[in-house]
A and B are shown apart, each in its own frame.
Chain A
Amino acid sequence: MSVNPMAYEAQFFGFTPQTCMLRVYIAFQDYLFEMMLVVESVILKKLDGFPACKISPFQIRKSTEKFLLFMKEHFDKLFSKMEEVLLQLVLNIPKNVLLPEDKVHEQYPYSKEQFQALQDEIHQLQKQYRAEASAGQALRAELEEQKAVRAELEKILQWFDGLENICREHGTCSFKESFAFLTQNAKKLQDVLKDVEEKSKKIKKHDRLL
């Protein structure tokens, strides 16, 4: 016969029902014994006032024991019945009842696998978020770089536009052409110089050979 530990009831009441019953039983029993002792001592005292009577304290003690034994038997029987009723009807939680504090177990009965899956999903989301966050940082870094580059390029463009304006102001729209002509001529000159150099080298060679 297994003993029901009534652990769920203990969770609710803050004490084990059986312990409570035991405490009450011991207390009641103590009172019963106490009262009987008081009765006995009162009777004995009264007897002192009757020195002539032949009743000995021993007899009184016997009487007390008799009555107490009788009371104890009934007491145990009655208490046992009371305890049974209290443990079944009052200090118990029916099997179909869930305490409000345990509601989550009814709402979210997750198995080990389901729980693990949920945790995995969360880790996955965290990884994705971190990836997105660093991607965002990289994008913003490029945006900053672009700003700098754009500024430089725009400066160069402005410089060109500045040149153009100067030409226009001084009415030399062919300044561009003359500039272009100059650079071309400079190049031609360089080519001619190279030619001359090579020719003179050849001549010097010839002279030596001759």
Chain B
Amino acid sequence: AGGDGGPPAPAAPGRAQVFATVVDTFLEKLVAAGSYQRFANCYRCFYKLQPEMTRSIYDQFISQLQTSIKEEIQEVKNEGNLEVLFNSLDKIVEEAKNQEEPAWRPSGIPEEDVRSAMVPYLLKHRSYLRKVLKEKEEENRKVAESVLAGRDRIAELQQLIQARKHAWQ
């Protein structure tokens, strides 16, 4: 087998894979430990009496045990939605692979932890306030100009009226 540096090395097995392998290994080794020899040895008298029956009973026992264990594992996986969670966690871990620093963990003090959660909202609020404040200031500047102009006009009118008054005296 020689590669030209083709496909990249297979990624490390995901959590789901490891989980399945570990459970299978457990079962394998358990069955190996509870071997027929051991079984027959324990039930020696019965084995001497009915060897085939002993074998048959043993086979059923082992088979049933394996089935029950596998079913239980499947139930745990279904209840916890583990397949999905394992894959999801694998992805999250993969994305963080360049992070060397320990990541944040809940401090256990809600008041502390909720701060960071609120910051994005506060920042949004602040930028909104800055915007409307600026708009209001601009608006007021324009109105102030009108007010000043109005005052000038009124003064002007008052002068004209004074002039007329004097002309009629």
Chain A contacts to B: CB under 8 angstroms: 7-8, 11-15, 20, 23-24, 27-28, 31-32, 34-36, 38-39, 42-43, 46-47, 50, 53, 55, 59-60, 63-64, 66-67, 70-71, 74-75, 78-79, 81-82, 85-86, 89-90, 93-100, 102, 104-110, 112, 115, 118-119, 121-122, 125-126, 128-129, 132-133, 135-136, 139-140, 142-143, 146-147, 149-150, 153-154, 156-157, 160, 163, 176, 179-180, 183
Contacts and interface: CB of A to CB of B under 8 A. Distances in A.
A109 B136 CA distance: 33
B43 A118 contact: no
Interface residues of B, number: 82
A118 B157 contact: no
A126 B22 contact: no
B169 A104 contact: no
A104 B92 contact: no
A129 B129 contact: yes
A140 B76 CA distance: 71
Contacts of A160: 161, 164, 168
The 5 closest A-B pairs by CB, nearest first: A98-B103, A108-B119, A74-B33, A67-B42, A125-B129
Contacts of B157: 150, 153-154, 157
8 contacts: A32-B65, A104-B116, A112-B112, A118-B122, A135-B140, A146-B154, A157-B157, A157-B161
B129 to A, nearest CB: 4
Contacts of B112: 112
Given A78-B30, A97-B93, A176-B168, A122 B140 contact: no
Nearest to A24: B76
B80 A97 contact: no
Contacts, number: 221
Contacts of B23: 82
Contacts of B147: 139, 142-143, 146
B50 to A, nearest CB: 7
A109 B116 contact: yes
Given A70-B38, A160-B161, A136 B139 contact: yes
A23 B169 contact: no
Contact of B115 (A8, A50, A112): A112
Contact of B64 (A35, A74, A135): A35
Given A35-B61, A53-B49, A109-B116, A153 B154 contact: yes
Contact of A59 (B39, B45, B123): B45
